[in-house]
């Protein structure tokens, strides 16, 4: 069955190859959004069949009137840690009164996660995914990393796989108590990897002071590649280090955080195809300095935005908040921020079916109770999502 969505006041397609008339006025960089005014979208099954001016829309079996609202592609959140138990609110409160953030807090969540049942973990992830969907996220990645035993890492990924195919093995999150870094790397690259690989698409390493160094990161990523897992990295979140350059050297799809960047780091990213995924919710929640996105854009680096939803350093599921923070604190234009949260999030997951509204792409779209995508940053904190369609059907409000 086909459906045509009409009455779209402003349609962001992200389809730079589209031949339909579109606006090039507005903020610098808006042309990358390939906006169509007074637009329509035709959906057949789960995919987009046609986009263009409403006056030229082909007939469909049914019609839906967007009532002049703006429509954007569903957000693609390429970095989240949703499989966990427990709460770290007191840790957040302590940071707000001056205590620094460190990787050691992860162990608090590890203890709670190990003690939780599969059913409890599943219920927590389901609640967070529903929360994300209601705010416009239609595709996401979920990492393990709060189990840190063979059994708990494998079951965390098995839980995550119920909600997304973009699951990431992050056994190398932090070295658990009771072992040495050398022995734990052997475990991560041996029995733990063997148990986790059937449930994962990606492998990740927290390459940072207090976690894993560059040589350990290289070894873990190599072992993952030998098991068919694509590599990515957490790097340069807490201080300057070699993680970003390692990601560029290895040609990883994405390196995430990128808070502390030397000129050599920016140059390495510019000379590679590696995407810098920025996570402004972390800086908001830890009071660290925000990364300079303008510096990256000016160097020609590809940039994505993600939530890093996790219980310790960024307990937000709102990609709209990340967009607003990126515009206000990181030097992005509203157009760059929306593109980074949709099309570039998809690129960071090597996904060609989402993040763009064009024929043949998955019909994931968000109706905004606003005349333009600009309101995402212009009206921070306001619940602007009027409707979410995923794979061609409305999923929020629930039907």
Mark which of 348, 366, 383 sits at the end of a domain. 348
Same domain, 362 and 384: yes
CA distance linking residue 380 with residue 195, whole number of Å: 42
137 and 43 fall within a common domain: no
Backbone phi and psi for residue 105, each to the nearest 5 degrees, phi listed first: -65, -20
pLDDT at 259: 98
CA distance 312 to 173: 13
The pLDDT score that the predictor gives to residue 107 is: 86
Taking the C-alpha atoms of residue 314 and residue 308, their distance in angstroms, rounded to an integer, is 6
3-state secondary structure (DSSP) of residue 59: coil
Q: For residues 377 and 276, state if they share a domain.
A: no
Sequence-separated (6 or more) residues with CB below 8 Å from residue 312: 88, 91, 101, 105, 106, 108, 109
Last residue of a domain, one of 348, 367, 384: 348
Residue 101 has pLDDT above 80, yes or no: no
Q: What is the pLDDT of residues 9-64, one digit of tens each?
A: 999 999 977 544 444 445 557 788 999 999 999 999 999 999 999 999 999 999 99
Same domain for 321 and 364, yes or no, is no
Q: Which long-range contacts (CB under 8 A, 24 or more apart) does 148-153 make?
A: 148/110, 148/173, 148/174, 148/176, 149/114, 149/176, 149/192, 150/187, 150/191, 150/192, 150/195, 151/195, 152/113, 152/114, 153/192, 153/195, 153/196
Question: Confidence band (pLDDT; 50, 70, 90) for 99?
Answer: confident
Prediction pTM value: 0.96
| Same-domain pairing of 107 and 56 | no
d(CA 305, CA 184): 31
Q: Give the pLDDT of residue 160.
A: 98
Cβ atoms 41, 65 nearer than 8 A? no
Tell whether 35 and 103 lie within a shared domain.
Answer: no
Query: Rg of the chain's alpha carbons, rounded to an integer?
Result: 21
Indicate whether 292 and 387 sit together in one domain: no
The DSSP symbol for 36 reads: E
Q: Which of 180, 237, 159 is nearest to 204 (CA)?
A: 237
**pLDDT band, residue 100 (cuts 50/70/90):** confident
In total, how many domains does the chain have? 2
Q: Residue 270 sits in a domain of what CATH number?
A: 3.20.20.140
214: CB partners within 8 A, 6+ apart: 207, 241, 242, 243, 246
Range of the domain at 249: 76-348
- What is residue 18's predicted lDDT score, i.e. its pLDDT? 58
Alpha-carbon distance of 23 to 187, in angstroms, equals: 54
> CA 277, CA 303: separation in Å to the nearest integer?
6
Residue 163 sits in the same domain as residue 242: yes
380: domain CATH number?
Answer: 2.30.40.10
Q: Give the max Cα distance, the chain.
A: 67
Say if CB 334 and CB 10 are below 8 A apart. Answer: no
Average pLDDT over residues 313-333: 97
Give the pLDDT of residue 27: 55
Domain final position from 326, 348, 370: 348
Indicate whether 399 pLDDT > 60. Answer: no
Mean pLDDT over the full length of the chain:
95
CA dist 204 and 234 (Å) reads: 7
162 & 242 share domain: yes
Quick one: pLDDT at residue 102?
67
Residues 47 and 122 in one domain: no
**Residue percentage of the chain with pLDDT more than 70:** 96
Give yes or no: residues 116 and 246 share one domain.
yes
Q: With 60 as the cut, is the pLDDT of residue 334 above it?
A: yes
β-strand partners of 234: 206, 256
DSSP state letters, 318-383: -HHHHHHHHHHHS---HHHHHHHHTHHHHHHTT-SSSS--STTSB--EEEESSSSTTHHHHSTT--
Measured in residues, the chain has a length of: 399
Domain shared by 365 and 264, yes or no: no
């Amino acid at each position: 069955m086909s459906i045509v969505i009409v009455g779209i006041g402003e349609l962001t397609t992200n389809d730079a190859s589209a031949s339909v008339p579109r606006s090039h006025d507005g903020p610098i960089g808006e042309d990358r959004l390939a906006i169509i005014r007074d637009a329509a979208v035709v959906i057949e099954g789960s995919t987009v069949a046609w986009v263009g001016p409403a006056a030229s829309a082909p007939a469909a079996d049914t019609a839906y009137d967007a009532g002049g609202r703006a429509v954007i592609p569903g957000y693609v959140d390429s970095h989240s840690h949703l499989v966990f138990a427990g709460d770290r609110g007191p840790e957040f409160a302590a940071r707000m009164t001056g205590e620094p953030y460190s990787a050691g807090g992860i162990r608090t969540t590890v203890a709670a996660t190990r003690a939780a049942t599969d059913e409890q973990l599943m219920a927590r992830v389901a609640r967070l995914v529903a929360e994300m969907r209601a705010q416009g996220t239609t595709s996401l990645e979920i990492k393990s990393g709060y189990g840190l035993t063979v059994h708990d890492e494998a079951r965390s990924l098995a839980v995550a796989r119920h909600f997304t195919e973009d699951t990431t093995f992050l056994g190398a999150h932090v070295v658990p108590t009771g072992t040495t870094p050398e022995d734990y790397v052997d475990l991560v690259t041996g029995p733990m990897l063997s148990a986790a690989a059937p449930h994962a698409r990606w492998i990740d390493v927290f390459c940072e002071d207090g976690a894993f160094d560059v040589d350990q990161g290289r070894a873990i990523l190599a072992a993952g590649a030998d098991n068919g897992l694509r590599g990515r990295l957490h790097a340069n979140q807490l201080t300057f280090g070699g993680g970003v350059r390692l990601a560029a050297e290895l040609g990883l799809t994405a390196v995430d955080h990128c808070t502390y960047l030397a000129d050599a780091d920016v140059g390495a990213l510019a000379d590679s195809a590696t995407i810098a995924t920025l996570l402004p919710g972390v800086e908001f929640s830890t009071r660290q300095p925000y990364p300079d996105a303008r510096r990256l854009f000016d160097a020609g680096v590809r940039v994505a935005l993600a939530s890093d939803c996790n219980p310790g350093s960024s307990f937000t599921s709102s990609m709209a908040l990340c967009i607003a923070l990126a515009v206000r604190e990181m030097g992005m234009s509203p157009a760059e921020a929306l593109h980074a949260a949709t099309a570039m999030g998809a690129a960071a997951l090597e996904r060609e079916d989402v993040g763009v509204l064009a024929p043949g792409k998955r019909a994931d779209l968000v109706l905004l109770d606003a005349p333009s995508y600009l309101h995402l940053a212009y009206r921070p904190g306001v619940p602007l999502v009027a409707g979410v369609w995923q794979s061609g059907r409305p999923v929020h409000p629930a039907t």
